[in-house]
Structure 1
């Protein structure tokens, strides 16, 4: 630590760094214990602005300021630990992450190496974005803001100094503009106010303004007056208020960010001679933590995030303390064996070190970009064991086979879509009844199980189109605004089944939830309008005046199902309405597919399942509509519930014995999972008439 000291060294500022990093760590590890701990980053911003501003002012005054020297010093300070952590994340991710997770990590490694993490995260923040806790490099947003600030700030100060203008006026004016932009944006777009650099620059500018005041007044000497003591006490109280009172539900930064920012400014401005600064902040334990605070900041969230990924988002509890202890150890090792040798040492090696650091950072960013562009390297050897359990491509006939089939031509009318359509139909057997499966991709999934479990697979035929609810008179519009082209295809399929006497049983299966909760838009082809948005699928069946859009989706669903059943029953078909399988949360599947999964015991605590009550809530609206429709045709229509085999009284499971039975998306079963469901559906020799409503 002595090698860090220079004439202006203040141990109390290292202690203040310790306060900031400890607040952030406790917030990340135990968020309920310190809900505003994230404000520690704002304290870091002030410290950075103060220290870097002071260096720049001293060098400008001495006539020795050099941009090349400034950025060389920043590189030596920032690059070594950053490169180490980025490479460590990529190495661990190679073994622990699936392709799409590793792809996202690669993008964030490249963004971190380019100091644009805040901008990438800003663009990602949206409805479809992965939860923040599953982004191991989320915390690099603050480093991006700092380095973007230091791209502009030295140039501006050098220009102002050359023009002999007053830096304080410029700093205060820019800080006021930045703070005003923050106040304006935080109420209309909190995400932008949080991640965009201009709305956070005022905190760094505040520290720089204080540095200029101290530079002009030479006020770095110890201060012991009562005013300074009270100032230090006020500063520590403001920071304490920030980390205890703030929480993630408040509009932040906004005016709330004044608490940690002013607190840090007051503490630094009080000088190192006050009791709080001298006895508390400058104590040896606090200084030690402050000295390793930068690598500690980089390591702690990487480890906690990987821990959360491996536990499917379940609380880490005591494991968080173990991971934090590991972060402290890695931070010290990084400081001792990576940072210090590269920052200091023989002068003659400095240029070589500088060039090496820039090349290594560029190579690390390039490696992350390669992982991203290679879609997370799904074929890497580390995933070999997992790939055996994943049905990535369900069997489909070749496009030419569809086009050469006369029945297919009639149904698809020349618009077969290899990426969306599921069609299994050869020469129809004449010696026994056939079962036809209609639906979207979930129908195709169930077909795989039925065809595998059937004594004669050729007696089960599959007709369907992805993202198409298999009801007549309904089209669906995908999230990208494009029609799925469900009509006239679905109508043609239902007509074909009705006119084919060999087909005696129809199984209808679909991802009903997405049509009722706004995942895709339902649109009537009969002039009945559409339902562009809906409320939650747990909404009551009877629409209330506060949820007209949900009622619209439910009514379209009800009408389409009723018309489809009437057409099939009129043709003397027996129908099985299969409820949907449980929709596992993505975090559940992350835990299930982790390469460390075999090391974890299968139990409710490991997260490879979901509560059955949650599944029942998800399916409440669809179940009500389906049971209502089935009740109109008691002799021909039965309801089947896959939860009877996929769930027990408490949980629905993503595994069966030693096999994972869900694909990684969490809503499609693997073939093994579909076979489990199909075997239950085929459990009675007399077929569909014996299907009882599953308990």
Structure 2
């Protein structure tokens, strides 16, 4: 197959936006589409090589996998060695245990499945996963397990029938992606091969159709190639994390890539542009650059309080480029040389490499991240979430109906909780307090769901659940007390970890399914919340409103663990993890609204700041107890301290005393 410089240049157009997107640089909100460009390029190049071999009677599945091993494994092994050393040095034991599981998934080419099951690609937590980006390698390798065999077996059909068959399968995959997107099945859609295969198939179709060999006028080639570049850059600049993806929207960068591959060559303007020495140079190291950038970014984020600044990310990109150039010249190129390293040797080395990393990953998992290696994390044994979180905290289309919601511990249920994930641990702590009197409660919580009573949000079934849960509480006369709370400011302004130490000020418009034109969406949110309070009180419930919980600048596991194996200093002062000024500025809108509620006999406030913080700062640890189990959710012990210092606990004591008097 003839070498095409412009395709290496196109690789640079694919990889750089990915780096800028992951680093939050230059407003490249759709930089993730670079991976889709890579998929199309890969589908085209691999299929072109396979066609030449099949037509020449030289196809060998063994030779194909030898090429894949030479291409993929050497650079990957170097990056995994570096990332694993860094993980052992810097990661707390629970982080290292998770890293070990991801390491096993990488070398078994199943990391897309692993990260689908454990993380959302656009979540803050995902940013600190050093091997997150390997999901795309897994998708490719899963595709190439069956595609070469399929192509060789179906070659007898003739090229036209084969094109029709692959096109049909590709369309089915695209339709499946669109269906999953419409059903808000975001993570499965993003990570798994069934909704990604069509992109590789479209690249394969370019090779099978052979458009670039057709007799097409130079003007048409210029226009079509230019259109392709415009489509890619449009996607890079105007897509964002709210764009349904993959879906029909993904056709824009995919078709753009197909147009460039099909109609741009060394004689066209776009072809000459992409053949520029600098772009080709970046394209040549693009695989190593893609491999190196995420571990560097992840450890930078992991060991920085708040989001690292743009200058740090630019330095990180420079470091990644230097390491990538070294890896390309001294690892990738030598291993591609068949004269230097035989097929037998490459398979032996590949097997040994996979075996070593499997043992390392399994050891890290079964030895619980090698506890004691980094010094015993302080208070981490108290950073526990509710045992009821997995079974009682619901989400998605198959949510737990309110009438089937959990009730615990006692059978006499006069209390209920209602809210999002921030209410889960306070609910469990409340249940423990009630259990002293053989009382129980009803647990109603929905993950990431705001008080969407009067508006729709981009979270499957959230609004439906809120309405059903409220109606159910209104109809239950036995329920006399309701603990109500949400993570207000995160929905209204964005996550604090994405911005700290700055105050988030994101527009919530993308959170609403059908935002009213010119409406103040934060006021819409508040009106809905206050209506929930009003209706609960109108149905003779005593309501306890949970105010915003102070948020940490880092995950609690990082906060209480030594910075590295070389010392005992923690990343932050555990007694003053965040400032009171940050708390009040962050929650200014919702605090003003909550303070204006008509508190009295049937409406009480529970204020975490007043109970857990002092005038200057809020701690991560209090009374030798970790107050959180992550960066914003209270631990069970933290929730217990909160409730014991609140009006709710005082009311419980009075109720108990009254019952004892009556006895």
Are residues 1:122 and 2:116 paired?
Answer: yes
Are residues 1:248 and 2:189 paired?
Answer: no
Are residues 1:205 and 2:201 paired?
Answer: yes
Q: Distance in 2 between matches of 1:8 and 1:604?
A: 64
Q: Distance in 1 between matches of 2:191 and 2:380?
A: 39
Q: Which residue of 2 aligns with 1:109?
A: 103
Q: Distance in 1 between matches of 2:529 and 2:573?
A: 43
**Residue deviations 1:462-499 (CA, integer Å, cap 9, x gap):** xxxx9989x9943679999999798898375499xxxx
| TM superposition shift of 1:642 | 6.0
Indicate how the Cα distance of structure 1 residues 553 and 361 shifts in structure 2: closer, same or farther if over 3 A, else same.
Answer: farther
**Residue deviations 1:44-66 (CA, integer Å, cap 9, x gap):** 01110111001100110111111
Q: Which residue of 2 aligns with 1:413?
A: none
Indicate how the Cα distance of structure 1 residues 603 and 322 shifts in structure 2: closer, same or farther if over 3 A, else same.
Answer: farther
Are residues 1:652 and 2:618 paired?
Answer: yes
Q: Distance in 1 between matches of 2:635 and 2:184?
A: 38
Q: Distance in 2 between matches of 1:516 and 1:48?
A: 42
Q: Which residue of 2 aligns with 1:414?
A: none
Are residues 1:381 and 2:384 paired?
Answer: no
Q: Which residue of 2 aligns with 1:506?
A: none
| TM superposition shift of 1:393 | 5.5
SS in 1 for 2:478: coil
**Residue deviations 1:613-669 (CA, integer Å, cap 9, x gap):** 44687888998999745999xxxxx999764773445x534379xx99756545668
Are residues 1:611 and 2:583 paired?
Answer: yes
Q: Which residue of 1 aligns with 2:556?
A: 589
Determine which of 358, 383, 386 is the counterpart of 2:351. 358
Determine which of 317, 326, 331 is the counterpart of 1:333. 326
Structure 2 residues not aligned, in runs of 5+: 389-406, 440-444, 452-464, 489-521, 646-663
Asked whether the 8 Å contact 1:304–1:323 carries over to 2, the reply is yes
Q: Distance in 2 between matches of 1:138 and 1:182?
A: 21
TM-score, with length taken from structure 2: 0.69
Instruction: Give the alignment of 1:161-310 within 5 angstroms.
Output: 161-164=155-158, 166=160, 167-191=162-186, 192-214=188-210, 219=213, 225-310=218-303
Asked whether the 8 Å contact 1:543–1:550 carries over to 2, the reply is no
SS in 2 for 1:381: coil
TM-score, with length taken from structure 1: 0.66
Asked whether the 8 Å contact 2:66–2:346 carries over to 1, the reply is no
Q: Which residue of 1 aligns with 2:516?
A: none
Asked whether the 8 Å contact 1:473–1:491 carries over to 2, the reply is no
Q: Which residue of 1 aligns with 2:515?
A: none
Asked whether the 8 Å contact 2:170–2:201 carries over to 1, the reply is yes
| TM superposition shift of 1:370 | 3.3
Q: Which moved more, 1:601-610 or 1:174-183?
A: 601-610
Q: Which residue of 1 aligns with 2:510?
A: none
| TM superposition shift of 1:77 | 0.6
Indicate how the Cα distance of structure 1 residues 54 and 526 shifts in structure 2: closer, same or farther if over 3 A, else same.
Answer: closer
Q: Distance in 2 between matches of 1:256 and 1:678?
A: 51
Q: Which residue of 1 aligns with 2:11?
A: 17
Instruction: Give the alignment of 1:18-167 within 5 angstroms.
Output: 18-30=12-24, 33-125=27-119, 131-164=125-158, 166=160, 167=162
The structure with the larger Rg is 1
Asked whether the 8 Å contact 1:24–1:41 carries over to 2, the reply is yes
Q: Distance in 2 between matches of 1:30 and 1:528?
A: 51
Indicate how the Cα distance of structure 1 residues 516 and 185 shifts in structure 2: closer, same or farther if over 3 A, else same.
Answer: closer
Asked whether the 8 Å contact 1:102–1:371 carries over to 2, the reply is yes
Asked whether the 8 Å contact 2:130–2:296 carries over to 1, the reply is yes
| TM superposition shift of 1:30 | 2.2
Determine which of 376, 384, 390 is the counterpart of 2:379. 390
Q: Distance in 2 between matches of 1:69 and 1:621?
A: 68
Q: Which residue of 1 aligns with 2:658?
A: none
Q: Which residue of 1 aligns with 2:486?
A: 536
Q: Which moved more, 1:345-354 or 1:47-56?
A: 345-354
Q: Distance in 1 between matches of 2:149 and 2:641?
A: 67
Q: Distance in 2 between matches of 1:580 and 1:270?
A: 59
Structure 1 residues not aligned, in runs of 5+: 1-6, 395-418, 421-465, 496-511, 562-577, 633-637, 680-695
Q: Which residue of 2 aligns with 1:490?
A: 434
